């Protein structure tokens, strides 16, 4: 790749929330790449991960995908485990203080992090470090001197802090230490580039760059990635909402969950999770827009690509074949009549209104014979119509109830 192609790839899927800031970071990234090329040296790139739980889901791996892109372009990547920052707790995406973990909890959670990260990163090209290596050596005076570079107003301006302030909810002093600690990580490693999600914007762009400049280093380039929505396509992927795609539950499970992602979220999944280039993604979206590619087929292609990252190509292919056997070969048609549910209608009422049975007695008989399903689930008795979905009566009659 030439420099422009590298910049386009590395900036793919970024989200700064401000177009001018994005332009500035893009220009700085291009400059760093040119200097590295001229001096024939790799850029020093890192992302930090606080081991707050033992298992990772797809949302955790977005910044790892960005690190892998830097690795593939020949740069030096550090996978930093936040053994010390995890003791404080990152308030960046929280509307309340995060519980402080014990050293024992952090050490236990750390054990599986690197192993799971190597599903994305090249193990032979990855440095693993723990930020306790330098943060544990900071004295109280050192911390005070770091704090001299920031104002209280800068912290209170952060959206999550300002909301809590408006509601009269507490903001604990230790929460402000987190940004100082993460900023010092960049100083300790003399970082050229730091990757992280958009919830890390303050920690990377403000704290990291400011501390580096204050301590005589060239401010890093922040590669700020978008946040991956969960399988609902709307809310951030999170265990608390149950919309996650775990990376350790098997190829079949991952493929199936990816196929449940709404069509509207495919673009961000392609940009944040796949190994596809901007040009490949643009072609898929062009084909979708021109109706030469069916959304289902595009999603299947995406699901196989993502699954093959975490498992083998053979396992991903097998997962696709198993999915087709389980779901597509149930012969549920893509096209079917639609019906707007009326107030107080029962299952039998809907069947009769759409002439899916000759009489109410025939409809009840079909229900008793387990011949009536809603979204694949057998309806056991006549009842108020449960919810919107695909109603199947017998083997060949389908109705989309809205």
Encode the chain in three state secondary structure: CCHHHHHHHHCCCECCCCHHHHHHHHHHHHHHHHHHHHHCCCCEEEEEECCCCCCCEHHHHHHHHHHHHHHHCCCEEEEEECCCHHHHCCCCCCCCCCCCCCHHHHHHHHHHHHHHHCCCCCHHHEEEEECHHHHCCCCHHHHHHHHCCCCHHHHHCCHHHHHHHHCCCCCCHHHHHHHHHHHHHHHHCCCCEEEEEHHHHHHHHHHHHHHHHHCCCCCCEEEEECCCECCCCCCECCHHHCCCCECCCCHHHHHHHHHCCCHHHHHHHHHHCCCCCHHHHHHHHHHHHCCCCCHHHHHHHHHHHHHHHHCCHHHHHHHHHHHHHHCHHHCCCCCCCEECCCCCCEHHHHHHHCCCCCCHHHHHHHHHCCCEEECCEECCCCCECCCCEEEEECCCEEEEEC
| N- to C-terminal Cα separation, the chain | 49
- Which residue's structure tokens are 């790839």? 9
Given a cut of 50, is residue 272 above it in pLDDT? yes
CA distances from 36 to 26, 32, 58, 112, 219 (A): 15, 6, 31, 33, 15
The residue ranking higher by pLDDT, 190 or 86, is 190
HSE, CB side, 13 Å, CA atoms: give it for residue 199: 15
The Cα–Cα gap between 306 and 262 comes to: 16
Count CB neighbours of 90 within 10 A.
21
Tell me the pTM: 0.74
Residue 247 has pLDDT above 90, yes or no: no
Which residues are bridge partners to 79 per DSSP?
A: 47, 128
> Is the predicted pLDDT of residue 102 greater than 80, yes or no?
no
Look at residue 238 in the predicted model and tell me its pLDDT: 83
How far is the C-alpha of 29 from the C-alpha of 33, rounded, in Å?
6
Tell me the fold of 338-401.
Answer: 3.10.290
Q: Is the CATH number 3.40.50.620 carried by domain 3-225?
A: yes
Q: Using CA atoms, how far apart are residues 314 and 257, in angstroms rounded to an integer?
A: 18
Give the Cβ contact number of residue 1 at 10 Å.
Answer: 12
Place of tokens 């760059």: 209
Q: How open is the CA angle 161-83-150, to the nearest 5 degrees?
A: 35
Q: Break the chain into its structural domains and give their ranges.
A: 3-225, 239-330, 338-401
Residue with token string 């999550």: 160
249 pLDDT higher than 90: no
Instruction: Determine which of 69-83, 85-99, 101-115, 284-298 has the lowest per-residue pLDDT on average.
Output: 85-99
pLDDT tens digits for range 327-370: 755 566 767 899 999 999 999 999 999 999 999 999 999 999 88
Q: What is the mean pLDDT of residues 276-302?
A: 92
CA 266 to chain centre: 12
Mean pLDDT (whole number) for 82-105: 66
CATH class assigned to 239-330:
mainly alpha
Average pLDDT, integer, range 178-185? 91
Instruction: Give dist(CA 236, CA 232) in Å, integer.
Output: 9
Mean pLDDT over 19-34 rounds to 96
């Amino acid at each position: 790749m030439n420099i422009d192609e590298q910049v386009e790839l590395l900036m793919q899927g970024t989200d700064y929330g401000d177009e001018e800031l994005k332009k500035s970071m893009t220009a700085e990234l291009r400059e760093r790449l040119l200097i590295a090329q001229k001096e024939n040296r790799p850029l020093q790139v890192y992302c930090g991960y606080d081991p707050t739980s033992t298992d990772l889901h797809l949302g955790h791996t977005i910044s790892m995908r960005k690190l892998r892109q830097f690795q593939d372009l020949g740069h030096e990547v550090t996978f930093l485990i936040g053994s010390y920052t995890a003791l404080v707790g990152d308030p960046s995406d929280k509307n309340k203080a995060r519980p402080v973990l014990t050293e024992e909890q952090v050490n236990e959670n750390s054990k599986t992090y690197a192993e799971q990260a190597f599903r994305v990163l090249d193990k032979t090209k990855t440095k693993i470090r723990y930020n306790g290596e330098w943060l544990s050596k900071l004295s109280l005076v050192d911390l005070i001197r770091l704090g001299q570079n920031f104002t209280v107003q800068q912290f209170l301006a952060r959206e999550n802090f300002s909301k809590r302030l408006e509601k009269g909810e507490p903001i604990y002093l230790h929460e402000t230490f987190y940004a100082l600690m993460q900023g010092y990580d960049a100083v300790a490693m003399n970082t050229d580039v730091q990757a992280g999600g958009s919830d890390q914007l303050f920690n990377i762009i403000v704290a990291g760059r400011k501390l580096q400049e204050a301590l005589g280093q060239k401010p890093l380039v922040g590669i700020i990635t978008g946040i991956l929505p969960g399988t609902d396509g709307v809310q951030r992927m999170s265990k608390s909402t149950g919309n996650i795609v775990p990376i350790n539950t098997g190829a079949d499970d991952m493929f199936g969950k990816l196929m449940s992602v709404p069509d509207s979220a495919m673009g961000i999944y392609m940009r944040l999770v796949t190994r596809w280039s901007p040009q490949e993604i643009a072609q898929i979206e062009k084909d979708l827009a021109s109706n030469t590619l069916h959304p289902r087929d595009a999603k299947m292609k995406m699901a196989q690509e993502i699954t093959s990252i975490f498992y083998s190509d053979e396992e991903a292919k097998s997962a696709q074949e198993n999915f087709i056997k389980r779901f597509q070969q149930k012969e549920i048609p893509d096209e079917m009549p639609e019906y707007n549910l009326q107030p107080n209608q029962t299952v039998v009422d809907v069947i009769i209104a759409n002439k899916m049975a000759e009489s109410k007695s025939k409809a009840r008989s079909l229900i008793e014979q387990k011949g009536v399903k809603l979204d694949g689930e057998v309806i056991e008795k006549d009842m108020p119509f449960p919810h919107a979905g695909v109603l199947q009566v017998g083997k060949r009659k389908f109705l989309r109830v809205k």
